[in-house]
Chains A and B, each alone.
Chain A
Amino acid sequence: MKLDTSGLESVAPFLGVSSELVGGLSGAPYFELPNTANFDRFQKDAIQMVKPAKGTTTLAFIFKEGVMVAADSRASMGGYISSQSVKKIIEINPYMLGTMAGGAADCQFWHRNLGIKCRLHELANKRRISVTGASKLLANILYSYRGMGLSVGTMIAGWDETGPGLYYVDSEGGRLKGNRFSVGSGSPYAYGVLDSGYHYDMSVEEAAELARRAIYHATFRDGASGGVASVYHVGSEGWKKLSGDDVGELYYMYNPITPSTVEQEMTDVAGP
C-alpha cells in the first residue's frame, strides 16, 4: 500500500537515491505501510508477541549447601492485583520444589501433575526420581502443548543422588541446566542483586539473606511483583521453608526511620 506524498514534497529527489524509488513511478517518495486490517494496533500487537508477560519474580541458585529458592507472591490480572498471597513455590515432593511464573492455573496444574508422575516413578522403580528426570518429564509435557497458549516459566530445584540440581523449564519447550536463574518481569532487578552478591561458599543464612534481598529489590522496582518474599532451602534432607516476610516490612527493616533533628526541634517548641 503506497501513499501519495507528493503534496508534502518541497525539493526534487536526489540523484543518488536508489533506482527503485526514482524509476518506475513518478518518483514521489513513499513509505511502506503494514498490510494489516487494523493499522493503529499492529505495532502494539507486535510488541505483545515478543513481550515476556510473566508478572512475577522468582529465583533459584545452587551453592555449597544446596539450592536456595525464593519468590514473591503477587498475582496480577492486567493492572488489577488479584492476590497478594499466591504460593509461587510449589512443593512437588519432600525433596523437590518448583517455582511458578506465567499462568497461575497452568503452573499449579502441571506441577501437581509432575508430583503425581514423580510418585508413580518411585512406586514403579523403587527409587526417587532425579531432578534431571523430573524436569525432563515436565519439559516434554509442555513441549507437546507448544503453541497452544500455555504460559509456564518454572524452575525445578531439588536434591538427588548426584547432589543439588536446578533446571529452568518453560512453555516454549526450553529446558536449561544451570546454577543460577531468575524468572519473571522482576528478574532483571533480582539478577542485579543476586549476581553481585553471589559466592559459592556462602552459608545457608548468607544465601537466604541474598535471596531475600534480591526478591525485595525486584518487588521495589517492578509493579507486577510484591506481597510476601518466601525463601526455601533444599538440602540433603529435603526442602525447608526458611522465611516469609512481607516486603513492606522488609523495606523498613532495610531502611529504618531515624527521627530527623528538625522534628525534634518542633516537639520542643510545641511544649506548654
Chain B
Amino acid sequence: MTKQRANWSPYDNNGGSCVAIAGADYCVIAADTRMSTGYNILSREYSKITKLADKCLMASSGFQADVKALQKHLAARHLIYQHQHNKQMSCPAMGQLLSNTLYYKRFFPYYSFNVLGGLDSEGKGCVYTYDAVGSYERVGYSSQGSGSTLIMPFLDNQLKSPSPLLLPAQDAVTPLSETEAVDLVKTVFASATERDIYTGDKLEIVVVNAEGIRREYMDLRKD
C-alpha cells in the first residue's frame, strides 16, 4: 500500500532576496521588488519590506501570501501591545514575538524567510535573522531568500565581524558608515541580480537611524 500523496501544495515560492546590515547607530534593510512564480514574473514593483514598529522593520522572502498573513498578525499584536503598555515595541521584543509567532505554526509553517532590522533600546543597529519555523539570532548582518547563497559569502568577506560567542566578547556591529553600508547593499544586489533569476527589477533600501526612517530606490536589471 503506497503512501497517499496530495495532488496540490499549499505553498509557492515567489522568490526574491532580502538583506539587512546593522551599524553603530543605523540599520539598513533592503530587498528587491520582483515577485515571481515559476518562470513568470507577477510584479516588478512588489515591496517585501514592512514597518512593524517605530524603529523596527521586517523584510521577508518566500511565499508572499504567508508573508502578508504574518505581517498582518504582527501588526495586530503590536497594536494590542501599544494599548496595553502605552509605548512602541522595541526591536528585541518584536524579535521574540516574531519567533514565537513562527513557532506556533510549527506543524504548518509560514513559508517565510525573514530578516528583522531596526534600532535597539540603546539606539544601536540590530538585525535578527530567522528560519521558517522561528529559530533566530541577533547578528551584525544577514541575507535571506533565493539570492542569499550568492549574497552571504560576499557580506562575510566584507563585513565578517567577530562572533558574539567569543570570550572575551567583541562587538558584533559593523564599523562601516551609513553611506558605505548603503553602497555595499547596492553592489551586493547588482551582483545577485546577475546570477539569480528571481532577483532583479528594482531595489528598495530602507535606512533607520535616530532621525527616523528613509527610503531609497535603485533600478536593477529587468531580465
A36 at the interface (CB under 8 A from B): yes
Q: Is the interface of A mostly helix, strand, loop or mixed?
A: mixed
B136, closest chain A residue (CB)? A108
Are A246's CB and B107's CB within 8 A?
Answer: no
The chain B residue with its CB closest to the CB of A71 is: B165
What per-residue 1/0 map shows which CB atoms of A190-228 lie under 8 Å from chain B? 000000000000000000000000000000000000011
Do B103 and A244 have beta carbons less than 8 Å apart?
A: no
Which residues on A are within 8 Å of B, measured CB to CB?
36-37, 73, 75, 77, 80, 82-87, 103-109, 148-150, 227-228, 230, 241-246
Chain B residue at smallest Cβ distance from A100: B135
Interface presence of B139 (CB below 8 A): yes
Contact B165 A104 (CB under 8 A): no
Encode contact with A along B97-117: 1 for CB under 8 Å, 0 otherwise: 001101100110000000000
Complex Cα–Cα for A203 and B131 (A): 40
A228 to B133, CA, bound (A): 24
Q: 8 pairs across A/B with beta carbons < 8 Å?
A: A73-B165, A77-B131, A84-B163, A105-B135, A108-B99, A230-B165, A230-B167, A244-B166
| Complex CA–CA separation, A187 to B135 (angstroms) | 23
Cα of A228 to Cα of B100 in the assembled complex, Å: 26
Is A246 touching B135 in the complex (CB atoms < 8 A)? no
B: interface residue count bin: 20 to 34
Q: Report the 3 A-B pairs with minimum CB-CB distance, sorted nearest first.
A: A104-B135, A105-B135, A244-B167
Residues of A within 8 A of B99 (CB): 105, 108-109
Q: Contacts A83-B137, A104-B135 given; 4 further ones with Cβ under 8 A?
A: A105-B106, A227-B165, A228-B166, A243-B167
User: A227 CA to B166 CA in the complex, in Å?
Assistant: 10
* Contact assessment for A148 and B107 in the assembled complex, using a CB-CB cutoff below 8 Å: yes
B residues with a Cβ closer than 8 A to A are 2, 99-100, 102-103, 106-107, 129, 131, 133-137, 139, 149, 163-167
C-alpha spacing A87/B129, complex, angstroms:
13
Q: Return the chain A residue nearest B169 by Cβ.
A: A244
**Which of B100, B102, B136, B165 gathers most chain A CB within 10 Å?**
B165
B160 CB to closest chain A CB, in angstroms?
Answer: 9
Say yes or no: A108-B134 contact (C-beta < 8 A), given A80-B149, A148-B107, A149-B107.
yes
| A228 lies within 8 A of B136 (CB) | no
B137, A103: Cβ atoms closer than 8 Å = no
Q: Which residues on the A side are within 8 Å of B103 (C-beta)? A: 105, 109
Chain B contacts for A228, CB-based, 8 A: 163, 165-166
A85/B164 in contact, CB under 8 A: yes
Contacts A36-B2, A83-B137, A85-B139 given; indicate if A105 touches B131 (C-beta within 8 A). Answer: yes
CB proximity of A212 to chain B, nearest CB, Å: 11
Residue of B nearest to A245 (CB): B166
Given contacts A36-B2, A109-B103, contact A246 B131 (CB under 8 A): no
Q: Residue of A at shortest CB range from B134?
A: A105
**Contacts of A105 on B, CB cut-off 8 Å?**
99, 102-103, 106, 131, 133-135
Find out whether the CB atom of A86 lies under 8 angstroms from the CB atom of B137. Answer: yes
Q: Check B163 against A37 for contact (C-beta < 8 Å).
A: no
* Closest beta carbon of chain B to A126's beta carbon, Å: 28
Inter-chain CA distance A6–B164, complex, in Å, is 67
CB pair A108 B163 closer than 8 Å: no
A98 CB → nearest B CB, Å: 14
Q: Which residues of B contact A36 (CB under 8 A)?
A: 2
In the bound complex, residues from chain B placing their C-beta under 8 Å from that of A242 are 167
Q: A242 CA to B168 CA in the complex, in Å?
A: 9
A38 to B, closest residue via Cβ? B2
In the complex, which residues of chain B have a beta carbon less than 8 angstroms from the beta carbon of A103? 133, 135
Chain A residue with Cβ nearest B140? A85
Residues of A within 8 A of B136 (CB): 108
A210 to chain B, nearest CB (A): 18
**Chain A residues in 8 Å Cβ range of B2:** 36-37
Return chain B residues, CB-CB under 8 Å to A107: 135
Interchain nearest-CB distance for A101 vs B (Å): 13
Give the chain B neighbours of A82 by CB distance below 8 A. 131
